[in-house]
Every structure is written in structure tokens, then in C-alpha cells.
Chain A
Amino acid sequence: MPVLEVNHLHKTFGAVTAVEDISFSVEAGEIFTIIGPNGAGKTTTLEMIEGLQMPDRGSVAFGSLDWKRNADQIKMTIGVQPQSGALFDLLTVEENLDLFASFYPKATPTATVLEMINMTDQRNKHVKKLSGGQRQRLAIGLAMINDPTVIFLDEPTTGLDPQARRNIWDIILKLKGLGKTTILTTHYMEEAEKLSDRVCIVDQGKIVSLDTPAALIDRLTKEREVRLSLMDGEKAAEVTEQMALLHPAVVRANREGPTLKIWTTQPEETLYDLFGFTKDRGFRVEQISIREMSLEDVFIAFTGKEWRD
């Protein structure tokens, strides 16, 4: 049974439709990532799920609980790390955790949370003096103080350096190890690809695609880009290009100096045949590469928009 079910959410602000018919469900233990360009409706969708905004139409259900009848119960089963961090700067790390713990009838011991977010050594530090990565870790710590079943992480790694980002990934994977369900938004494709069980791409208030990262990439056209650099100058490259275009799997090709770019539906076979040709002619190949398709390509393919980190 899904832990979260979102059905046909609609939300308009004046003349602007922010969310138009968004539906999905999240299974227990999943890391479910929502990505989309700015203004796609991610935040509005999340806020409706978190009970901060009322949808115009549609429903949100956590198992058998809904916001109208079970608001307090839902608040006890979810944990939220908002984008802004939202910490008490003049309190220490531990005092923040303590204060939030007092809001719930049952809370995880602060020592456990501190260990989980790797901040035991900083527990007496004032939040004001924490680094960006430490602040985010504390915000995640606050989100798990009530031992929730569903955790919402809204861009937890935005603006962090690669090391700090990796530390957050570790925490997210630890949460998954504990069987928690995580709903994540991010600006980093690499992150979505690495962490997510499923990715939901949202654009202009609608879901444009929802699947596992691998399936999404797979769904893109089978055309792959193969690059080949020859050591014997432009002439050799030109002859090879003409040869390649005769290959049945090659869709198109272009050339920049001694470097060839070939788009093919069967990269392995094409390369095999091309190597046969270059060997016969005695051309020496300097570099070859097959470009991996990433979630970024998926994003561009589905939304028609460039991805901006």
C-alpha cells in the first residue's frame, strides 16, 4: 500500500495555474524525486502535500489519513526540511533539536539524531556559527526528530560544495536504510540520478514524465553520439565520414577538423565496422567516446528547456 497518494491536484493563483492535475503515489521506503524548472509548480505541489496550502481540487492521503480530518496525526508522521532551512539561529544545535522534540508526544532521542546527522561534536555550537552544510544537516535532523515515516527534503543540497553535498547524500541513504520514505526535490541531476528510486519531472504544473532514472533515460531515442578523433588529419576524417554515412545504422554525422561526430542507433556495430575501415586504410585513431545519456538529456527532451544548476 502506498504511504502517500496524490490525486488530481489543482491550484491556481488568480489567473496563473500553478498546478494542473498532478497525481502520483509513493511506496514505502522509496526515494521519490521531483524535478522541474523554476516555476514548474514543485513548491506549490509540495506545500499542498505538506498541508500548508489547500488544493483547489484533488486530494492528498497519507495511508488512511487526510489533512481535513487528521491534520495533527499527519504532522506527527511526516518530517519536513524546508528550502529556507528555518532554524533558530540564537539556539545551539542541541537546543534546536530539543525544542522541536517538545512539539511531539514521542520523539527520537537527540543523541541519536545528532549521530545520524554527524553533528555530535557541534551540538553546543550556536546555529549562527554553522556552515551551510551543517545548517542543512541540522534542518534534516529536525525533520527526523519525530521519527517520521515520510520525510520531505526540499533542495537539501542547493548551494553546497561537493563534499558537503556528499555528506547529505549519505544521510539520505541512511534514512533509506532505516526504511524511511523520502520525497526529495533537487536542482542537481546527478543527485536525482544517484539517489532516486523514481523521478517525477514536472513542467508548467503538469507531470511530464515519471519513472525510474534508468527507464527514463532508456525511453529517450536510441540514437547515441559517437566521437572519433583521427591522428592523420582532416583528409582522413573526411574519408571516414563518407564511409560512416554509408553505414545503415548511422543517422547523421558532422566533422570538426580531425574530429568526427556520428549519431547511430547501434553504436557498437558502427564502431566495429568503422575500425575495420580505419585499419584497412592505416588511419590511426587518437580518441573514441560514446556519450552517456543522462537525466539531463531526459529533462531537456521532455521539457524542451536547458537545465540550470
Chain B
Amino acid sequence: MNGAKQFNKMFVAQLKMMFREKQVWFWNIFFPIILMVLFMIIFAGGGDDDFKATIAVSEPVQTAASEQLLGQLRQVPVLELKNEEPISKEQGLEWVKNEDVDALIILPESENASSLQLIVNMKNERSATTQVVSGVLDKFIQQANLAAAGAQPVFGMTVSSVTSGEDDLKYEDFLLTGMIGLSIAQGGLFGMVDLVDMRRRGLLKRLRMTPARMGLYGLSSMLVRLMLGIVQIVVLSLIGVYGFGASLHINIFSLAIAFFGGALVFNAMGYLFSSFSKTIEAYMGMANIASMLMMFLSGVFFPLESLPVWLQPVTQALPLTYFVDGMRDGLIYAESVTNGAFWLGMGIMALWGVASFLVGAQVYKTKSISEEAR
């Protein structure tokens, strides 16, 4: 009957409007992609395997020991020697000053000396490269010492991590899913600006002068937003998986619940902001504050454990924390919906949604209609 026709037209109209609004594409698709790619490159991209430091080696005195050390240094895969043969100390220092090399290693200066020197440019004293090179050199010396003493190491260490998922979790996976969660949350927080705009331009009032069913309008609008959310998940996942080697282990049920639940909750928060906002600027201000606060306090980019302890209670209160967790459960841990922690998180998140919606609806109700078009 008429309802179906109305819903159809409303849905198609809103789909077209979303499609034609460049801002939607930028903020919901391109911006998250740019942000994710940047973080991937800075914090994960390249990976440990690709680490290389260029060094120079100076050998003031040629001894059997120094020849042996030089030979072994050449074997270290992450160190690339700029010079095939050792150079003078002065030449090496010049290279360090000009940053032609990351570090200069000076082999023992006399037959009896046993100390190696590592010289780096002061500018880079605290850089990651310096840390790695000095770490490698340290280890190298330990090995050399052990070898010189003819001893075998008693303790060794291998690094590995465990997850409840089927595979080990990489930072790429963590960041990808964090970004997906953040994008969907922002879609809701910022998306309700449409409502402010419609009210400002008298469109809400205009629709109320027709027999149009506002409930259907809201429903079709929600459906369009959910579709945008699915596009976000797909596009970001493709880039994360194929561009940065992230791996996903999906549990479709927990993913669907987290996604629908989260989209509703953050849209409800957007709705709450819209009820308070007379202007688009006011709305955007509120949405920005909420989004910025949660972005850094909800474990989107880095694990929550890296935050100071006193901040932990704050993160435990934020809905984005639980949404991102829920999305990770569905996307990379393949956590099944029988998990209690999953539901607890969803529950806390839902509380935010319900409270936002109720308050927003109350504010809308008590506001005079005549204010609307002004």
C-alpha cells in the first residue's frame, strides 16, 4: 500500500542525496583511508624484516680479532656496510656528520683493547635506528664474548604472542579494525548533521505539513547510513588486507551484532547532539569533541594498555571502546556470540545509545516547533 511506495521513494531519494554529497564521500571513505594508510606507514608499514641501517666501520689497527669482528659484522643482515674495506676514523666521522651513514663502528683501537665504539649523529641519538643498531651491536658483542670465552649460552629467548584467534594478531589487523570501528562511529556522530540542516531549512516542518510518515523517513535514512557503513567496512578491509597484509578472521554473527548495534548507538548520539544544535556549526563542534576524545581513548590506534593507568577508568566508560572491541571480536578474533565479555561490552555501549536517544527525543519534544525554521 502507500507505506511501501513512500518508503521506497524516501530510500531512493536519500540514497541519491548521499551519493551526490561530496562531503559524505570525503569524510566517510577517503578520510578514514588516508588516516589508516598514514598510521600503517608510520607504525607498521615496512615491517621489521625490512629494517636496514647503513653503517661504516673503521679499523684503526688490523689484528686477527678485529678482522674476525669485521667479518662477523658483515654477516649481520640488518646492517649494510657503506664501505667494503674499513676506512679511517676521520672519514667515518665525516660520514656520520653528513648523515651519509646511520652509525660508525670503530673496532678496538689496539691489540689489547677490547672495546668497540659506536658513533652516531647527535641529531639521531634517540632515533629508533640508533636504538636498533646499538641493540644489535650489544648482542653482537655478547655473542663475540661468549665465543671468545668458548662458552655456550645457557638461556635464550624467543618472542611470540598469543591471541584467542586462530592466528597471531599483527598491528596491521589491530589498526585496520580500529579504523573500521572509528569510521562507522564517526559516520553516526557526524551524520546527524543532516537533521540540523533539514530543521534549519524548514524541511522537517515542510514534511510535517504533508501526510508523509516521519517514522518511515527516519527508517529509510537509517538504512542508507547502514549501507554506507558496510561500504566503509568493505573498502577499508580491502585496503588493509591487500595493501598492508592484515588478516581477518570473521565471525559474521558477532560482526553483524557489533556493527548494527554500534551504528545505532552512534547515530543516537548524533541525534542527541542535533537536538541541542540550532546551527550546523554548533553540531559539528559537539561531534568533533566527542569524536576526538573517543578517538584517542578507545584503543583505536594503540592498545588501551599503553595509556596511563589513571586514564583507564575513562576508557572503560566510553562506548567507542566497546564498539571497537566488538568489531575486533567479529573481524579478527572470530569471537563467537556466546562470549560473555562480548555481550557485556555491547550492553554498556547500548546504554549510551538508549540514554542518548531518550534525552534527544525529550529535548525535541519540549522545544517549540516555531523555532524550527528560524
Binding site for B on A (CB under 8 A): 13, 44, 47, 50-53, 72, 75-76, 78, 80, 82-88, 90-91, 95, 98-100, 102-105, 126, 146
Most A-side CB within 10 Å, residue of B5, B368, B373: B373
Residues on A with C-beta less than 8 A from B13 are 88, 91, 95, 98-99
Binary contact track B1-25/A, C-beta < 8 Å → 1, others 0 = 0100110111001001100110000
A104 to B5, CA, bound (A): 10
A99 to B10, CA, bound (A): 7
Q: A52-B369, A88-B17 are in contact. Are A99 and B211 (CB under 8 A)?
A: no
Residues on A with C-beta less than 8 A from B17 are 88, 90-91
Number of B interface residues at 8 Å Cβ cutoff, please give it: 26
A-B contact pairs, 8 of them (CB 8 A): A83-B373, A84-B373, A85-B201, A86-B201, A91-B17, A95-B13, A102-B5, A102-B9
Of B140-148, B202-210, B239-247, the segment with at least 4 beta carbons within 8 Å of chain A is B202-210
Do A52 and B9 touch across chains, with their CB atoms under 8 A apart?
A: no
Binding site for A on B (CB under 8 A): 2, 5-6, 8-10, 13, 16-17, 20-21, 201-203, 205-212, 368-370, 373
Do A44 and B373 touch across chains, with their CB atoms under 8 A apart?
A: no
A98 to B206, CA, bound (A): 15
Do B370 and A103 touch across chains, with their CB atoms under 8 A apart?
A: no
Per DSSP, chain A at the interface is: loop
- B130 to nearest A CB, angstroms? 54
Q: Which of A72, A85, A90 contacts B211 (CB 8 A)?
A: A72
Residues on A with C-beta less than 8 A from B373 are 82-84, 86
Q: Which of B201, B203, B208 contacts A52 (CB 8 A)?
A: B208
Residues on A with C-beta less than 8 A from B207 are 103
Residues on A with C-beta less than 8 A from B6 are 102-103
A50 to B2, CA, bound (A): 23
In the complex, what residue of chain B is closest to A98 when comparing beta carbons?
B9
Do A84 and B201 touch across chains, with their CB atoms under 8 A apart?
A: yes
Residues on B with C-beta less than 8 A from A78 are 209
Q: A47-B370, A95-B16 are in contact. Are A86 and B203 (CB under 8 A)?
A: yes
Do B20 and A90 touch across chains, with their CB atoms under 8 A apart?
A: yes
Residues on A with C-beta less than 8 A from B10 are 99, 102
- A251 to nearest B CB, angstroms? 46
Residues on B with C-beta less than 8 A from A146 are 210
Residues on B with C-beta less than 8 A from A52 are 205, 208-209, 369-370
